[in-house]
Structure 1
């Protein structure tokens, strides 16, 4: 049985932001009520997965997204329609002033909402991180490589920064591969204030990023584009 619950957020996250946490039973059969809420295209995409666990993640997460959006919009979950931007970030075709983002890894998923401000969320499983850690020189800026983001092992630090960068780029609606080195994620001196995001693109404005609580072996992050863009002068690749 899949379970969904609100996730406690850092104290500086704005009140209009909510994140829901899903615990997924990847061995359970697909639930007919979940499938019934999905569009034909969504069901077809789920059936293209070869592994049952991937189908469960796709169906359960999409069903939960539809149900949560239905509560916020007052519309029927099965009647909601989605569009996507050039990088594939989904949005409601009717707008409705609701921003959302979804991420899943292993047996967990997260769904984040905000009232109008672009939002991004990412969760990653540490399994296999020992291999991807060698990618640090290619995906992290020089400034990032000079300072640890969080205490713990090198893998903990790598995954914390990776999820923060991915959540940020998802909030911006930008491609991950193209812009990984366009931003630097650095620690702040203030406790509980999340991470510092530096970039040199005025059109992106200010971005707030926070680490989120996650089970052992996982890392998660939340990013929110602020209401009033500001120009940041930062040679992030240096």
Structure 2
């Protein structure tokens, strides 16, 4: 059993329940848990610990350990299982899923993304989803990358912007596309130019349209997330009539 660090103040918020129409997106500030790295590392599987050991830099190793341990802690609350005993299976392109548990536990779908010292964990019941978070880089050549990898309509929109507006739009598209690909479980085997993300006016909601046929993917919707100023994030969710709940891990006692 994991002992609670004596230096961490207790948090009294009740862990939120997950209904069939709920989509929970957890924002995790990994540095908040840095002092507990050794304790949290013990939650990881042998394979995860071996992968962590292969990182060349301590910073990258720490971020991997903390993000994957927090994923386990969050999933343990939804599945009512011990965090260190959760097992995963992986799809053809690496999409993880809970395995070896009851049907109710395996019905919990999730997606993990981390960038820099931050992570996102998206969770839903009985519906596929994907999440992505990115730290905005100041030196990114946004238009060059968009013209190389994105659909023509997306790069054309970016060409109409300049400076910070162009950079933010690039990351808005990038995180939306990554979230969609992760949710479908196809990874980058499906080229980023094969589909176009269409935001509804100035809103955070978007649909996906295939560039070859012009047809929409009716089974998926994307929403950009409101995060810190230097971050971009998105969640892609399968199905209709879902409600997004953005949560912060530091507001709850996870261990």
TM bracket, shorter-chain basis: 0.7 to 0.9
1:98 aligns with 2:108: yes
Once residues 29 and 127 of structure 2 are traced to their aligned partners in structure 1, the CA distance between those partners, rounded to angstroms, is 26
- State the partner residue of 1:221: 234
- CA-to-aligned-CA distance 1:3-22 (integer Å, 9 cap, x gap): x9x9xxxxxxx842101111
Equivalence map 1:62-73=2 (5 Å): 62-73=68-79
- CA-to-aligned-CA distance 1:163-205 (integer Å, 9 cap, x gap): 100101100101225321121011213x646112112598964
Once residues 156 and 203 of structure 1 are traced to their aligned partners in structure 2, the CA distance between those partners, rounded to angstroms, is 25
* TM-fit CA distance, 1:143: 2.1
1:153 aligns with 2:170: no
1:210 aligns with 2:223: yes
Deviates more, 1:110-119 or 1:169-178: 169-178
Query: What SS does the corresponding residue of 1:208 show, helix, strand or coil?
Result: strand
Structure 1 length-normalised TM: 0.81
Q: Is the 8 A contact 1:172 1:204 kept in 2?
A: no
Structure 2 length-normalised TM: 0.76
Deviates more, 1:131-140 or 1:110-119: 131-140
Q: Is the 8 A contact 1:35 1:59 kept in 2?
A: yes
- CA-to-aligned-CA distance 1:94-121 (integer Å, 9 cap, x gap): 3621110000111111000011111000
Query: What SS does the corresponding residue of 1:37 show, helix, strand or coil?
Result: coil
Query: What SS does the corresponding residue of 1:138 show, helix, strand or coil?
Result: helix
- State the partner residue of 2:249: none
Q: CA RMSD in A?
A: 3.2
Could you list the runs of 5+ residues in structure 2 that have no partner in the other structure?
1-6, 14-19, 242-255
1:88 aligns with 2:94: yes
Q: Is the 8 A contact 2:142 2:166 kept in 1?
A: no
Once residues 150 and 97 of structure 1 are traced to their aligned partners in structure 2, the CA distance between those partners, rounded to angstroms, is 43
Count of equivalent residues: 219
* Counterpart pick for 1:57 among 50, 56, 63: 63
